[in-house]
A and B are shown apart, each in its own frame.
Chain A
Amino acid sequence: MVKELLKGNIAIAEAAVRAGLQAYFGYPITPQTELLEYLSKRMPELGRTFVQAESELGAINMVYGAACTGVRVMSSSSSPGISLMMEGLSYIAGTELPVVLIDVMRGGPGLGNIAPSQQDYNQIVHGGGHGDYYPIVLAPANIQEAIDLTVLAFDLAEKYRSIVIVLLDGSLGQMMEPAELPPMQPLRESYPEWATRGAIGRERRIHTSIYLNPVEQEKTNLRILQRWQEVKKNEVRYKSYFLEDAEYVVIGFGTAGRVALSAVRAARAEGNKVGLLRPVTLAPFPAQQIEALAGSSKGILVVEMNSGQMLDDVMACVKGRTPVHFYGRPGGIVPLPDEVLVEIHRMTEKSGRLNGHPRDQWLERMVQHI
């Protein structure tokens, strides 16, 4: 295969097609619309199912139904649309079905704007829908990763009968980079033993998220948690840059992570021993790696395109063993490498404990933007 110059939204759509996507249900919303638009042409061309539903609620429930039949199924949306899907996601989780969802985040809360942001971290990583469930969350930082993780999403969804969400911001949806698409996989011919595809001549299989007997519901919850333990053991992924001899560590995912990479390189050029950890799986979270870095580094800087959501997860791993700093640009602003470099300087020049919570400290410095 050769590299092509691909736009994020299109690359994800074609990667899903080549991963054997059989049915897509969605509703347009910027900055994700090209994904749906592309599939509206591509899926029928291949004789596969594409439906633009009447709303995100309709779309996610069509996904739910199709998933019961064991087909490879996907939806995509952006922040406000994802919020509308939360009830359906909880039902899918409770029914233990494999589903892939793409969230191309925009600025908010509320209707917000269409600029790039990472505002959905908490909603996506820590549930969003009601109940104890644990979606796998993959966070690409470039177009090649967006392709590779979309393909992986389908495999993980089926392996763990889980929801897998590919979480990226609007700029990744809109930008172009050279990337290589995978070869076209043949569509599946056999279906998992749980799939409901007609019960003639055998016992009926029932998919439900209703367990009126709490004992059965508790069993289900524990089974879901047990499966999650397996995911945590097997599926943690991250990328590290310059960590071998790093005295200070920057942590950021997706676009914030790659912006931080530019700043870390600039800091290295100045002679500062700074490294970068970029989580690729937000769930499962690279907790062990961050715990180890907390023990070996003089400070950690978390960079996000929100007001500090992953920050809480990092702090839970650090457990106060090293000072944690925070820099964020919420609302649809992409931080620039120079801004992150200033924060690296602040971290490396300041020794000892921070005076208060890193988010409070950051907010004090942000008054100029209010």
Chain B
Amino acid sequence: MQTEIIISGFGGQGVLFAGQLLAYAAMEQSLQVTWIPSYGPEMRGGTANCTVIISDEEIGSPVVGSPKVVLALNLPSLDKYEPLVKAGGLLIVNASMVDRAPQRTDIQTVMIPASEIAESLGDKRMANMVMLGALLGNLPILPEEAIAKVLREHTTERMQKLLSANLEALKRGMNYLVEKVK
């Protein structure tokens, strides 16, 4: 069983960190995992993305053409990755940052105003946590506690004061889905 996840957004939205949290949490669960960032000559304000693969056996390719899951945190990411999601896969879109709905009908799509939810909790930079929550709520590849644990362990001292808000953001992402998606 292998799950490929691409997380994509603007630089600064925490997409690489969100991917690392998934990777740490997968490791906690004794699963195989790879995390690979796009590392081109990126511009400030440009797009950033990472691919996380979680599996119960040795992982072959660390990159995929059609991921099972895409978290699109902005419009360029939605445009780029919507066509690539594997049929039957899951596309989670940060509705706060796009002006259109996904068009695919052969995948499950979730529109969640992640930036607004994050802002209501005190900092819109926590949109990545809301998106992660939406992923776990919809496709329980990892338990919430595993993410919460690694979030506690890998948050810098300076950011510790935001920990409970981040955990809340994660929960809101999960709950939002439970209400909205069957």
B residues near A30, Cβ cutoff 8 Å: 39
What separation, in Å, do the CA atoms of A338 and B63 have in the docked complex?
11
B residues near A337, Cβ cutoff 8 Å: 60-61, 64-65
What separation, in Å, do the CA atoms of A264 and B58 have in the docked complex?
13
B39 touching A258 by the CB < 8 A rule?
A: no
Known: A175-B62, A259-B63, A261-B61. A114 touches B34 (CB 8 A): no
B24 within 8 Å of A (CB atoms): yes
Look across to chain A and name the residue whose beta carbon is closest to the beta carbon of B37: A174
What separation, in Å, do the CA atoms of A265 and B61 have in the docked complex?
11
B33 within 8 Å of A (CB atoms): yes
What is the distance, in angstroms, from B3's C-beta to the closest C-beta of chain A? 14
B residues near A287, Cβ cutoff 8 Å: none
What separation, in Å, do the CA atoms of A3 and B24 have in the docked complex?
10
A residues near B140, Cβ cutoff 8 Å: none
B40 within 8 Å of A (CB atoms): yes
A259 touching B24 by the CB < 8 A rule?
A: no
B residues near A263, Cβ cutoff 8 Å: 60-61
Partner of A336, one of B23, B33, B64: B64
B64 touching A175 by the CB < 8 A rule?
A: no
B36 touching A262 by the CB < 8 A rule?
A: no
B36 touching A174 by the CB < 8 A rule?
A: yes
Which residues of chain B (105-150) have a CB below 8 Å from chain A?
none
Q: Please, what's the 1-or-0 string for B26-69, where 1 marks a CB less than 8 Å from any CB in chain A?
A: 01000011111101110000000000000000111111111000
A176 touching B60 by the CB < 8 A rule?
A: no
B60 touching A265 by the CB < 8 A rule?
A: yes
What separation, in Å, do the CA atoms of A261 and B66 have in the docked complex?
17
Known: A114-B39, A175-B34. A5 touches B27 (CB 8 A): yes
Look across to chain B and name the residue whose beta carbon is closest to the beta carbon of A7: B35
What separation, in Å, do the CA atoms of A259 and B53 have in the docked complex?
13
A334 within 8 Å of B (CB atoms): yes
B74 within 8 Å of A (CB atoms): no
B8 within 8 Å of A (CB atoms): no
Known: A176-B35, A177-B35. A171 touches B62 (CB 8 A): yes
What separation, in Å, do the CA atoms of A178 and B39 have in the docked complex?
20
A114 touching B41 by the CB < 8 A rule?
A: yes
A114 touching B24 by the CB < 8 A rule?
A: no
What separation, in Å, do the CA atoms of A3 and B31 have in the docked complex?
12
B94 within 8 Å of A (CB atoms): no
What separation, in Å, do the CA atoms of A259 and B59 have in the docked complex?
9
Q: Please, what's the 1-or-0 string for A330-370, where 1 marks a CB less than 8 Å from any CB in chain B?
A: 00001011110000000000000000000000000000000
Known: A5-B20, A337-B60. A175 touches B65 (CB 8 A): no
**What DSSP secondary structure best describes chain B's contact surface?**
loop
Look across to chain A and name the residue whose beta carbon is closest to the beta carbon of B154: A5
What separation, in Å, do the CA atoms of A264 and B33 have in the docked complex?
19
What is the distance, in angstroms, from A215's C-beta to the closest C-beta of chain B? 52
A170 within 8 Å of B (CB atoms): yes
Q: Please, what's the 1-or-0 string for B58-91, where 1 marks a CB less than 8 Å from any CB in chain A?
A: 1111111110000000000000000000000000
What is the distance, in angstroms, from A238's C-beta to the closest C-beta of chain B? 16
A115 within 8 Å of B (CB atoms): yes
A336 touching B63 by the CB < 8 A rule?
A: yes
A150 within 8 Å of B (CB atoms): no
What is the distance, in angstroms, from A105's C-beta to the closest C-beta of chain B? 14
B63 touching A170 by the CB < 8 A rule?
A: no
A94 within 8 Å of B (CB atoms): no
A279 within 8 Å of B (CB atoms): no
Look across to chain B and name the residue whose beta carbon is closest to the beta carbon of A336: B65
What is the distance, in angstroms, from A308's C-beta to the closest C-beta of chain B? 20
Look across to chain B and name the residue whose beta carbon is closest to the beta carbon of A334: B63
Question: Taking each of B27, B41, B60, B65, which has the highest tally of chain A beta carbons within 10 Å of its own beta carbon?
Answer: B60
A162 within 8 Å of B (CB atoms): no
A31 within 8 Å of B (CB atoms): yes
A255 within 8 Å of B (CB atoms): yes
Look across to chain B and name the residue whose beta carbon is closest to the beta carbon of A174: B39
Look across to chain B and name the residue whose beta carbon is closest to the beta carbon of A176: B35
What is the distance, in angstroms, from A3's C-beta to the closest C-beta of chain B? 6
What separation, in Å, do the CA atoms of A147 and B126 have in the docked complex?
35
Partner of B60, one of A115, A175, A177, A258: A258
User: Can you name 27 A-B residue pairings with CB atoms under 8 Å?
Assistant: A5-B20, A5-B23, A5-B24, A5-B33, A170-B39, A174-B36, A174-B37, A174-B39, A175-B35, A175-B36, A175-B62, A176-B23, A176-B34, A176-B35, A177-B35, A178-B32, A258-B60, A258-B61, A259-B60, A260-B60, A261-B58, A264-B60, A265-B60, A336-B61, A336-B65, A337-B64, A339-B65
Given contacts A5-B27, A171-B63, A174-B37, 9 further A-B contacts (CB under 8 A): A114-B41, A175-B37, A176-B36, A178-B33, A255-B62, A258-B59, A258-B60, A262-B60, A262-B61
Listed in ascending order, the chain B residues whose CB lies under 8 Å from chain A are: 20, 23-24, 27, 32-37, 39-41, 58-66
Across chains A and B, which 8 residue pairs bring their CB atoms closest together, nearest first? A262-B60, A261-B60, A175-B36, A259-B61, A176-B35, A262-B61, A336-B65, A178-B27
